[in-house]
Amino acid sequence: MRLGVLDVGSNTVHLLVVDAHPGARPLPAHSHKAELRLAQLLDEDGAIGPDGVEQLVAVVREALQAAEDKGVEDLLPFATSAVREASNADDVLARVRAETGVELTVLAGPEEARLTFLAVRRWFGWSAGRLLVLDIGGGSLEIAYGIDEEPDAAVSLPLGAGRLTAARLPGDPPHPDDVRTLRRHVRTEIAREVGEFSRFGAPDHVVATSKTFRQLARIAGAARSAEGLYVQRELKRASLEAWVPRLAAMTSAERGELPGVSEGRAGQLLAGALVAEAAMDLLHVESLEICPWALREGVILRRLDHMGDERAPERGAGPY
C-alpha cells in the first residue's frame, strides 16, 4: 500500500510518501517539505502566535493535497516538540483539525526517541549490538540506548538547534559570551542524564540521525548526499571539536556556504554543533555513524508492524 507520514516538526513540515507492506523495506515515492520553524515562532508566553497557526494550517492543507495527488491510502500525521510544548497546543490542534480534517498525534519526547531508535535498529540490524542513538531536532535532543528494538532508556531534552538559537544566540555572529553561556547550559542539561545511560555499559555502535548531524558530518568530510544512502558516513568528535570555534566565528551567511549546509538551517548550525559536541563528550563517544532513517521511518515501521499483526490470522493455520 502507499503510506504517507506527515511530520509537523520544529523546523519543517514534511510529508514522506512510501510504498510499503509488512515485512518489506519502505520505498520512498515522494517528499514534500515546507520550512516553517515553529520552534522559533513561539511568543513570550510559549504560545504559537496567530500568524504561526495560519501558516501551519496552510502548510498542512498543502501536504494533504500532495498526499491525495500521490494516491496515499493511509496518512499518519504527527507533531513533535514545538507543538507538544506550546502553551496553546490544544487550540492549535483543534484549529488544524477543524480547517483541514487532519488529527495530529502529538508524540511525547520519549516516544519520539523510541521510534527513532526502532528505525535505526531496523537499518543496522541485530549485528550492530547495543545501540546508542542521538537525534538533534529543531526543538529537542533525543537519546536512546538498547540491545533490542525497544530501547532500555530513552529521554528527550529541550535542546533543539532551532529552539536554542532563537532563545540564546541572538547575534550574527553570536557574541562569545552567549556561546559560552549556551555551552554551559547544554552540558548541564545533558550531564543530568548521563547516569541513565552509563549504567548499561559501553554501546557497541553509536548512531546519529537528523539534518543537523548530517550537515556536521558533511562539513567534517563525510560523503555528499548525492552519493547515496548506503555510503557510510561518520562524524568524529575530534573533527567536531575543531569545527565548533570556526562555526562560532562565522555569520549565518558564511555557514550557508559550507558544503552540505542549507541556507535555512545555517543559522542554527552552531547551536546544533554545541549540542552534538556536548553529547559526544559527556557520553564518551569518539566517533558515530550517520543513519539515513529516523523518526518518520520509525512511525512507518511501527504502522507496518501493526498491519502485520492484524493480518496474522490470514497467513494460514499451520503451527508457524
- DSSP β-bridge partners for residue 14: 7, 33
Query: Distances in Å between the alpha carbon of 154 and those of 9, 90, 101, 204?
Result: 19, 25, 32, 17
Does pTM surpass 0.85? yes
Predicted confidence at residue 37, as pLDDT, reads 87
**Percent helix, strand and coil across the chain, each rounded to 5?**
50, 20, 30
* Cβ-proximal residues to 151 (8 Å cutoff; 6+ apart), any chain: 113, 114, 117, 131, 133, 144, 145
Considering only CA atoms, which of 84, 83, 103, 76 is closest in space to residue 16? 76
- 3-state SS, residue 208: strand
Query: What is the 8-class DSSP label of residue 276?
Result: H
pLDDT number for residue 320: 33
pLDDT at 48: 94
**pLDDT tens readout for residues 183-195:** 999 999 999 999 9
pLDDT for the residue 310:
63
In angstroms, rounded to a whole number, what is the distance separating the alpha carbons of residues 156 and 135?
9
| Cα–Cα distance for residue pair 162/61, rounded to 1 Å | 24
Quote the pLDDT of residue 313.
53
Output the pLDDT for position 41: 80
Parts of the chain with a pLDDT under 70: 308-320
